[in-house]
Amino acid sequence: MLVRVKKYDIYLPLRYNDGRQIEDERSDQVDDVLYERFGGLTTVLCEFPLRGLWSGESEAYRDLIVIYTTIDFEPSESTTRFFEEYKEILKSQFQQEDILITVQEIGVF
pLDDT of 83 reads 98
Number of domains in the chain: 1
Domain that holds residue 53: 3-108
Q: Alpha carbon of 42 to those of 67, 95, 108: distances in Å?
A: 8, 23, 15
| Closest-CA residue to 14 (of 40, 54, 52, 56) | 52
pLDDT of 46 reads 62
Sign of the C-alpha dihedral computed for residues 86, 32, 18 and 8 taken in this order? negative
pLDDT of 47 reads 61
pTM of full prediction above 0.75: yes
pLDDT in tens, 46-83: 666 678 888 878 888 888 889 999 999 999 999 999 99
Question: Can you give the CATH number for the domain in which 92 is found?
Answer: 3.30.70.120
pLDDT of 48 reads 61
What percentage of the chain carries pLDDT values higher than 70?
Answer: 95
Tell me the mean pLDDT in the region 79-100: 97
